[in-house]
Structure 1
Amino acid sequence: MFKGLSPILYNGREVWPLVEGGKGVAATNHASAGAWAAAGGIGTVSAVNADSYDAEGKIVPQVYTALTRRERHEELIEFAIEGAVTQVKKAWDIAGGKGAININVLWEMGGAQRILHGVLERTKGLVSGVTCGAGMPYKLSEISASYGVTYLPIVSSGRAFRALWKRAYSKAAEWLSAVVYEDPWLAGGHNGLSNAEDPLKPQDPYPRVKELRDVMREGGIADSVPIVMAGGVWYLRDWSDWIDNPELGQIVFQFGTRPLLTQESPIPEGWKSKLMEIEPGDVLLHRFSPTGFYSSAVRNPFLRSLEARSERQIAYSTEHAGDHTYQLDVGVKGRNFWVTLGDLQRAREWYGLGHTSALKTPDDTLIFVSESEKAMIRKDQADCMGCLSQCAFSSWADSETNSTGRLADPRSFCIQKTLQDIAHGGNTDENLMFAGHGAYNFRKDPFYSNGFVPTVKQLVDRILTGD
């Protein structure tokens, strides 16, 4: 047992201060979460478009048949509730009364509030807590408390928590079971970098977490309410000065990337194999997500193609003005595209390389893509099922008009399509592959030598040693 580490009391039962991170579309499910809880920790079922199963136990494909986006959005909500309820019940059975089961939702997912109500209504007594980030989930406390379930907001600064506390959470203080600090420079998936923070200049998490604890103390929150350190956690020995530290209060550790490579992890073998090959610097903090948030993923050919797409970009004016005195004669129909001489020459070069279509972005720029890439972008935009509250890629919004009012952005991508595909065996080079920035440790950590893939129990036991 690692020095100083001891069980905590979580919702009336003793558990290890180890949380399995809840990873988006189908990357954590009943098998991984149930096993994590059975090992004495807090398992997390992802309630983001989770899988359902037929009578034979096969995954039910989430196929959308409705003609309109609004109707497909209703199908999505039904899939989401049914899937999450199924996963929670199965995880509960696997846990066998040990540990605890949380669910994870994204506040910015389409229909988030309806889905949360639908899941909690049908899983009474099974869910210990709801973790929720990606946005400012003001209503999280109210919804969770109405079902007698605790809540764990995910924040990346003391400032964000202060705003949530003052506006809403102070009214349901007794249901706050922890606050998750997700490091925006180290965590995989979407993260909460603010406009004031530099994505290229990571900050030490210690002062940021101390500031978060200070904000919690201002609100009268006891030090026994844990802060969950999420992002960049691999070896507990690296965090020994955080354990039993009076400045920080109770600290719990969340593991997001490490549990991807276990026997119970639901991600396909191809994804698991790729994790063993990641080198330092292979995970990119980028801004291509249709959510508008920064996110971290493996810099594979899929991500490189998005980088290249944005690099083939020029500004245009609809009038002959300033430096924009040359008419664009490739990639567009019509004559109202005025560009600089340098950009005209670049556009002609891209056109000659097969990027023959210019697509408008919301920022008065054009990107150049091939005809096949254009067809894929247009199809994906047309197939939108409203998986986000607001989507830059398709201009969907979960509102009366179902529109953001902005032009759809072809520099982005359909996140639902790619995450469903990679989670269910799709090509790891052609899809978004989330991972934390410490994923290179799979190659370095002797625990994984000779291709060893542990069970969740073996992983938890290993973590408890400090390694």
Structure 2
Amino acid sequence: MKALKPLLMSGREVLPLVEGGKGVAVSNGESSGAWAAAGGVGTFSGVNADSYDESGHIIPQVYHGKTRRERHHELIAYGIRGAVAQARMAHERSNGQGRIHMNVLWEMGGAEAILHGALEGAKGLIHGVTCGAGMPYRIAEIAARYGCHYYPIVSSARAFRALWLRAYQKFRDNLGGIVYEDPWLAGGHNGLSNSEDPQRPEDPFPRVLALRQMLNSFGLQAVPIIMAGGVWWLSEWEDWLDNPDLGPIAFQFGTRPLLTEESPISMAWKRKLLTLKEGDVFLNQFSPTGFYSSGVKNPFMLELMARSERQVAFLPKPVGEHAAEFPVGPRGRPVYLTETDRQRAQSWVAQGFTTALKTPDSTLVFVTPEKAEQILQDQIDCMGCLSACRFSNWSQNEEGTTGKKADPRSYCIQKTLQAVSHTDDCENQLMFAGHNAYRFASDPYYAGGFIPTVKQLVER
């Protein structure tokens, strides 16, 4: 295989190996610092990052505010304190090697406030900011203000063109690179557009080539593209190295660093990764963000799938075939279904799914009373962790709402990601993963349950 050549990123020559910045305590200062110490770019998550007390124990993110707006302000304070703590830890662990980046989601609640607070509080310790999940127009301006490089995450040349023409061309010198994230293979939230078929993955090479050609047209030939999603062994990407058509290329590893000694996830989660089979990672639209996302098909995901399958369309008044009366709610107020759907609904009720919840799409989903109570409580407890949440109908606008009904087909993403990150429960919580995660089980490198250090993985 070709030797890896150093690449200039965030002001320093580093190995073209980037740790993906997985959210909510999954990529932290310890893992990112170790990645930087090995000569690459370590990335900690700035999404509800952990902070610590004087004894070094994680401070639980408990909310005391009576309103969503009050809890939203608490969340921002937690986010800033946590991001600064992780940046300092990463800086210490890096031993002055590599580069340290922070990853944020543009559509996370309080994104701009957290960015300003973190970059001010950890000034000089964060060399770059990666940002996706939406169209982060203002990330360039914010990064430049603190002398930092920015790395937008896109899934098409068209998306970058819009960002460049609207905002980024004013901050050319701070553009550190562009992360191309494969919308079919990457873990977490994916950038599939309405014109792309989630069931028909596309070859990344033509898409990245189109991105490079667009960069060249803007005079950005020296700006590296970071290939993310579906990267396992670099030997499988050898034709991308030193390819004059692609220009400078780096590779981002998101799923692989989960299975390292420095990874903060539980041993239960690590052992789970070693058992996955092909197809166990599922591209779905259950996320309250509205984006597609890739997660492990565990009981948590299977319940969401089953919940949405127990669903029928209704009308408030009888019209056409929707003439079969069906009582809903404690008072048994009637809605109208087709006769076929009425029979399906009655069968679900007979199985114990006796509570019908209305969705924003004028459908009913059928759940157990216990699940209905949990859904309602999670919606009430919302702390505004997203800029707009379809599950709770929170929005960080002046009204504090999306203006739509809360959607019971989704879930509280903050609650489940905090749980999977800080407990051993990886069955009944959301487990994000890239679609190559099944390769842990068959890759000889992990034979016998071997878990490498970050240094060993980077060297390998």
Structure 1 length-normalised TM: 0.97
Shift of 1:332: 6.5
Alignment gaps of 5+ in structure 1: 463-467
Conserved? CA contact 2:290–2:390, under 8 Å: yes
Distance 1:254 1:98 in 2: 18
- Corresponding residue for 1:465? none
Q: Deviations over 1:210-252 (max 9, x none)?
A: 0111111121212x21000000000101100101111111100
1:433-444 mapped onto 2 (5 Å cutoff): 433-444=431-442
Q: Which residue of 2 aligns with 1:354?
A: 352
For residues 349 and 68 of structure 1, what CA distance do their matches in structure 2 show? 39
CA-atom RMSD in angstroms:
0.9
After superposition, the C-alpha distances for 1:107-138 in whole angstroms (9 at most, x for unaligned) are 00000000000000111111110000000000
CA–CA distance in structure 1, aligned partners of residues 308 and 11 of structure 2:
51
Amino acid at match of 1:83: G
Structure 1 position 25 matched with structure 2 position 24: yes
C-alpha separation in 2, matches of 1:19 and 1:332: 54
Query: Contact conserved, 1:331 with 1:368, CA < 8 A, in 2?
Result: no
Is 1:191 matched with 2:190? yes
C-alpha distance in 1, partners of 2:291/2:453?
33
Query: What SS is found at the alignment partner of 2:81?
Result: helix
Distance (whole Å) between structure 1 residues aligned to residue 156 and residue 443 of structure 2: 30
Q: Distance in 1 between matches of 2:173 and 2:407?
A: 42
CA contact (8 A) 1:331 1:356 kept: no
Instruction: List alignment gaps of at least 5 residues for structure 2.
Output: none
Report if the CA contact (8 A) 2:155-2:181 is conserved: yes
Q: Give the aligned partner of residue 82 of structure 1.
A: 81
2:373 is aligned, of 362, 372, 375, to: 375
For residues 12-55 of structure 1, the C-alpha deviation after alignment (integer angstroms, 9 at most, x for no partner) is 32210000000011000011000000000000010000001111
Contact 2:327–2:334 (8 Å) recurs in 1: no
Shift of 1:334: 3.8
Distance 1:426 1:403, change over 3 A: farther
Show the 5 A alignment for 1:34-113: 34-113=33-112
What SS class does the counterpart of residue 287 from structure 2 fall into?
coil
Q: How does 1:217-296 map to 2 (within 5 A)?
A: 217-222=216-221, 224-296=222-294
Tell me which residue corresponds to 2:148. 149
Q: Distance in 1 between matches of 2:334 and 2:214?
A: 54
For residue 138 of structure 1, what is the aligned residue in structure 2?
137
User: CA-to-partner distance for each residue in 1:402-434, whole Å, 9 max, x for gaps?
Assistant: 100000000000000000000001411110001
CA distance in structure 1 between the aligned counterparts of 2:8 and 2:323, rounded to whole angstroms: 69
* TM-superposed deviation, 1:4: 3.7
Contact 1:331 1:351 in 2 (8 A): no
TM-score, length of structure 2 as denominator length: 0.99
Which of 308, 311, 314 is matched with 1:310 structurally?
308
Q: Secondary structure at the match of 1:337?
A: strand
Q: CA deviation at 1:330?
A: 6.1
What is the SS of the residue equivalent to 1:136? coil
**Number of residue pairs matched?**
460
Which consecutive segments of 4 or more residues in structure 1 shift more than 4 A?
none
- SS of the counterpart of 1:84? helix
Question: Which amino acid in the other structure matches residue 423 of structure 2?
Answer: G
Q: Measure the CA separation in 1 of the matches of 2:56 and 2:300.
A: 31
Amino acid across the alignment from 1:186? L
Provide the residue aligned with 2:397 in structure 1. Answer: 399
C-alpha contact 1:332 1:357 (8 A) present in aligned 2: no
